[in-house]
């Protein structure tokens, strides 16, 4: 027996926040997908709506994002200490508290949130400091995101009053290029370094959305599957150009791609990986 999930105003608002789609469209998307949030995003996209691809950095609504590296720039960390309101996130004491936790992560070279929570700062564990802070400000807080990169050179960048942090791992020391690429990632939010590093499930998701959208288009009615598949590959290539870092137009000089910019700095300069964490 099928069941119908009740769609609440909060569900609709969450989908609106994530996609920018209209209220009625969000309601219909959630109704059509029985309340499945990710399926509702795909449903909207299949209707031809310009909805951003799934991003992992839409988790904490408020908080402080700190991106830092070790003194030798070989390891970088992003810590997001989340809270419930922007009143707290903008408070200088809360920002300093988040900085102290990030400093502890860097100085102890921690590998996970669990490990960070056990680190001692002053005379107390980070987990206990968080509980004390929770008690003093009356809001639920915690370390909601933790990212770490090791590379021959790691650049860090914080944007927008601690609302977004980026790490970029390069194969050699290149401070200025590292900052430029980090700013690119902050601005354009690529899904991966290059097409080869886009997760297979992301590629399949994009392909299925493209094909389903074409099949729903009356102009494409009766076209053979082979033709649809060929068109889909062309659209996927456009997706890679727009959504992968090295293929994107360089924000500081749109006449060249990020790959071409890196080559102009140093023919051997490569981006190994990156991490981006944003409040949103």
Query: Cβ(21)–Cβ(40) under 8 Å?
Result: no
**How do residues 112-157 score in pLDDT, each as one tens digit?**
999 999 999 888 999 999 988 888 888 888 999 999 999 999 999 9
**How do residues 83-116 score in pLDDT, each as one tens digit?**
988 899 999 999 999 999 999 999 999 999 999 9
What structural domains does the chain harbor? 1-52 (1.10.8.10), 62-170 (3.30.479.20)
Q: Residue 92: how many CA atoms within 13 Å on its side-chain side?
A: 0
3-state secondary structure the chain: CCCCCCCCHHHHHHHHHHHCCCHHHHHHHHHHCCCCHHHHHHHHHHCCCCCCCCCCCCCCCEEEEEEEECCCCCEEEEEEEEECCHHHHCCHHHHHHHHHHHHHHHHHCCCCHHHHHHCEECCEEHHHHHHHHHHHHCCCCEEEEEEEEECCEEEEEEECCCCEEEEEEECCCCHHHHHHHHHHHHHHCCCECCHHHCCHHHHHHHHHHHHHHHHCCHHHCCCCHHHHHHHHHHHHHHHHHHHEHHHCEECCEEEEEHHHHHHHHCCCCCEEEEEEEECC
Measured CA to CA in angstroms, residue 279 lies from 10, 84, 98 at distances of 19, 12, 14
d(CA 16, CA 52): 12
User: Above 90 in pLDDT, residue 66?
Assistant: yes
d(CA 84, CA 102): 20
User: Above 70 in pLDDT, residue 57?
Assistant: no
Q: Which of 14, 12, 38 is nearest to 25 (CA)?
A: 12
d(CA 128, CA 119): 10
Q: pLDDT band for position 77 (50/70/90)?
A: very high
**How do residues 195-222 score in pLDDT, each as one tens digit?**
999 888 888 888 888 888 888 888 877 7
Q: Which residues contact 222 (CB under 8 A, 6 or more apart)?
A: none
């Amino acid at each position: 027996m099928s069941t119908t999930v009740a769609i609440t105003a909060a569900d609709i608002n969450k989908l609106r926040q994530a996609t920018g789609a209209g209220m009625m469209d969000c309601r219909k998307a959630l109704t059509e997908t029985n309340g499945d949030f990710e399926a509702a995003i795909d449903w909207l996209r299949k209707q031809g709506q310009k909805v951003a691809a799934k991003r992992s950095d839409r988790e904490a609504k408020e908080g402080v994002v700190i991106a830092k590296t070790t003194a030798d720039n070989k390891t970088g960390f992003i810590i997001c200490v989340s809270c419930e309101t922007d009143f707290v996130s903008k408070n200088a004491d809360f920002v300093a508290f988040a900085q102290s936790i990030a400093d502890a992560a860097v100085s102890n070279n921690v590998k996970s949130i669990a490990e960070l929570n056990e680190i001692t700062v002053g005379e107390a564990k980070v987990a206990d400091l968080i509980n004390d802070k929770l008690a003093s400000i009356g809001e639920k807080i915690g370390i909601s995101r933790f990212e770490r990169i090791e590379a021959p050179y790691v650049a860090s960048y914080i944007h927008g009053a601690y609302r977004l942090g980026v790490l970029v791992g390069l194969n050699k020391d290149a401070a200025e290029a590292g900052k430029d690429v980090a700013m690119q990632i902050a601005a354009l939010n690529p899904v991966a370094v290059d097409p080869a590093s886009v997760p297979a499930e992301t590629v399949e998701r994009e392909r299925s959305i493209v094909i389903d959208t074409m099949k729903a288009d009356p102009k494409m009615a009766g076209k053979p599957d082979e033709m649809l598949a060929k068109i889909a590959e062309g659209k996927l290539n456009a997706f890679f150009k727009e959504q992968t870092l090295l293929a994107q137009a360089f924000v500081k000089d749109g006449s060249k791609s990020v790959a071409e910019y890196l080559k102009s700095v140093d023919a051997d300069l490569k981006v190994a990986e990156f991490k981006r964490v944003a409040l949103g």
